């Protein structure tokens, strides 16, 4: 080490036994969070990952609780990342600002001009950016429920007033009730399509009609599961100026660990979003991985076909279980209502199958949600389901 080396060294006296450092107590009260944050109910994710890690190697485990891809991403992703590391990855440098090459790849994928697209650190980052950019305290936000709850936290953090729309049937799009809840004063509306956890699709004609009927309302359509449903409103951003569509690489593309998403919006809206947008938000590895994934659409399409076939296997299985009510959604998950959800969850975990309890959601009492994998995986899952139901 030269005399100019700024690294810290701990030098122990010769012949002494090192003493582990002790944390000292910090006197006085902690600094309170902002008042708007103190009122929030935090989004608390419940994950099976710690339990699965503890069981790794003992028995085949099926992690079906977070709707992730059940297979690794395209081999081209691994190749691209390995090549980047092997060539002396410049991880000491910031990523490409604005993810320009990724945005160009997304332009080819979506058919939209790059000016309509912003790459983000997962679609959660996109949702947070929209709320931070376009919501003020007291603004009204309309949200059909049940749905993805993390958006609610983002909106509430801005001091927004949340109006929920809950129909009699959670598996119906309930457009008339949504329209009734909207007004000229509604600042924002959030629609997930296919919806998580019900799989409800919001048709293009309905979204277009709402955007035109309420031009002062910003509509967000969350298409995290678009690849599975193949139904989208993304082309509408060229026709209306009050629509944002968000998507992710965490589901069908299998890149949940890299945190990459994007949004599409009219360039006028995008300019507003770029006031707060961090052009460094998508890390270098995420950009490389996402571009590689987009370069191998045959791999993606094979997986999508497998999931579609596997859903039909599950549909046939559940039809043999008279005490079970199942909804096979357009996304990569099914919703199942069982007589005693707690006991079923315990049985499934004992069999190495981890699913998500959604019974606390309005209209989903007694329901669990289960990710659908490929055909081979699903055949094994069905064998275990047969022991639990």
Q: What is the pLDDT of residue 94?
A: 96
Region of 297 (left: φ > 0; alpha: ψ -120 to 50; beta: rest) is alpha
Domain boundary among 279, 295, 311: 295
279 plus 333 within the same structural domain:
no
Residues 145 and 83 occupy one common structural domain: yes
Domain membership flag for residue 189: yes
Same domain, 348 and 375: yes
d(CA 331, CA 196): 9
Residue 36 structure tokens? 């708007």
Separation CA 94–CA 105 (nearest Å)? 20
Integer Cα distance of 63 and 69 in angstroms: 10
Tokens standing for residue 204: 């293009």
Would 19 be classed as within a structural domain? no
Q: pLDDT tens digit string along 217-273?
A: 999 999 999 999 999 999 999 999 999 999 999 999 999 999 999 999 999 999 999
Report which DSSP code applies to 376: H
Q: Are both 261 and 136 inside the same structural domain?
A: yes
**Is 325 a member of any domain?**
yes
Which of 71-75, 85-89, 199-203 has the weakest average pLDDT? 85-89
253 with 141, same domain: the answer is yes
**In whole angstroms, what is the distance from residue 389 CA to residue 385 CA?**
6
**Residue 247: DSSP 8-state:** E
Kindly tell me if the per-residue pLDDT of 53 is higher than 70. Answer: no
Does residue 224 sit within a domain?
yes
- One domain for residues 302 and 291: no
Tokens 């193949």 found at: 230
Q: Are residues 175 and 226 in the same domain?
A: yes
Alpha-carbon torsion 23, 28, 31, 32, what sign?
positive
Check whether residue 227 and residue 122 sit in a common domain. Answer: yes
Q: Are residues 208 and 340 in the same domain?
A: no
The β-bridge relationship of strands 243-248 and 186-192 is unpaired
- Percentage, residues of the chain above pLDDT 90: 83
Does residue 345 sit within a domain?
yes
Token pair belonging to 306: 């497998």
pTM for this model (two decimals):
0.88
Rounded Cα gap, residues 133 and 274, in angstroms: 9
Q: What is the pLDDT of residues 310-367, one digit of tens each?
A: 999 999 999 999 999 999 999 999 999 999 999 999 999 999 999 999 999 999 999 9
Same domain (yes/no): 231, 278? yes
- C-alpha to C-alpha distance for 33 and 14, rounded to whole angstroms: 47
- Residue ending a domain, among 273, 295, 317, is 295
The count of structural domains within the chain is: 2
Query: The domain spanning residue 110 has which CATH number?
Result: 3.40.640.10
pLDDT mean over 140-166? 97
Are residue 210 and residue 236 in the same domain, yes or no? yes
For residue 262, which of 250, 275, 276 has the smallest C-alpha distance? Answer: 250
Q: What is the DSSP string of 260-325?
A: -EEEEE-HHHHHHHTTT--TT-S-HHHHHHHHHHHT-HHHHHHHHHHHHHHHHHHHHHHTT-TT-E
Domain check: are 101 and 213 in the same one?
yes
Using CA atoms, how far apart are residues 194 and 199, in angstroms rounded to an integer? 5
Calculate the average pLDDT of the chain: 91
Q: What backbone torsions phi and psi does residue 307 show, to the nearest 5 degrees?
A: -65, -40
Q: Is the pLDDT of residue 125 over 90?
A: yes
Q: In this structure, are residues 63 and 48 in contact, taking their beta carbons and an 8 Å threshold?
A: yes
**10 Å Cβ neighbour count for 283?**
17
pLDDT, tens digit (0-9, with 9 covering 90-100), for 8-48: 555 455 555 555 555 555 555 677 777 767 767 665 666 56
* Domain extent for 153: 75-295
Is 18 within the bounds of a domain? no
Q: Do the domain assignments include residue 3?
A: no
Give the contacts of 320 (CB within 8 A, at least 6 positions apart).
none
- Choosing from 249, 265, 295, the residue where a domain stops is 295
Distances (CA, A) of 26 to 30, 46, 275, 346: 9, 31, 38, 43
The CATH number that applies at residue 65 is: 3.90.1150.10
Instruction: Return the SS3 of 245.
Output: strand
Tell me how far apart the alpha carbons of residues 12 and 3 are, in angstroms, rounded to a whole number.
19
pLDDT-based confidence at residue 60 (cuts at 50, 70, 90)? confident
């Amino acid at each position: 080490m030269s005399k100019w080396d700024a690294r810290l060294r701990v030098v122990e006296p010769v012949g002494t036994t090192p003493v582990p450092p002790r944390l000292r107590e910090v006197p006085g009260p902690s600094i309170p969070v902002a008042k708007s944050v103190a009122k929030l109910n935090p989004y608390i994710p419940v994950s099976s990952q710690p339990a699965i890690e503890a069981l790794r190697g003992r028995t085949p485990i099926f992690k079906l609780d977070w709707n992730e891809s059940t297979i690794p991403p395209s081999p081209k992703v691994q190749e691209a990342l390995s090549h980047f590391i092997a060539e002396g990855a410049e991880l000491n440098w910031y990523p490409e600002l604005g993810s320009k090459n990724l945005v160009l790849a997304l332009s080819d994928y979506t058919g939209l001009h790059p000016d309509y697209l912003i790459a983000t650190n997962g679609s959660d980052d996109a949702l947070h950016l929209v709320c931070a950019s376009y919501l003020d305290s007291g603004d009204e936000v309309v949200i059909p429920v049940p749905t993805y709850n993390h958006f609610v936290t983002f909106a509430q953090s801005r001091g927004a007033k949340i109006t929920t729309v809950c129909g009699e049937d959670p598996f119906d799009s309930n457009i008339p009730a949504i329209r009734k809840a909207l007004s000229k004063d509604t600042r924002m509306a959030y629609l997930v399509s296919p919806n998580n956890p019900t799989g409800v699709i919001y048709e293009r004609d309905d979204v277009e009609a709402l955007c035109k009927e309420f031009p002062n309302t910003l509509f967000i359509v969350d298409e995290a599961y678009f690849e599975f449903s193949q139904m989208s409103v993304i082309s509408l951003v060229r026709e209306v100026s009050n629509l944002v569509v968000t998507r992710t690489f965490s589901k069908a593309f299998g890149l949940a660990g890299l945190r990459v998403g994007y949004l599409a919006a009219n360039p006028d809206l995008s300019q507003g979003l770029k006031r707060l947008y961090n052009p460094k938000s998508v890390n270098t590895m995420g950009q490389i991985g996402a571009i590689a994934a987009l370069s191998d659409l045959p791999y993606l399409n094979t997986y999508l076909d497998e999931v579609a076939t596997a859903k039909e296997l599950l549909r046939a299985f559940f039809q043999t279980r008279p005490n079970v009510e199942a909804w096979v959604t357009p996304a990569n998950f099914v919703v199942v209502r069982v007589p005693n959800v707690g006991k079923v969850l315990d049985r499934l975990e004992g069999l190495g199958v981890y699913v998500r309890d959604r019974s606390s959601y309005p209209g989903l009492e007694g329901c669990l949600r289960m990710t659908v994998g490929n055909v081979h995986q699903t055949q094994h899952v069905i064998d275990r389901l047969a022991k639990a139901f």
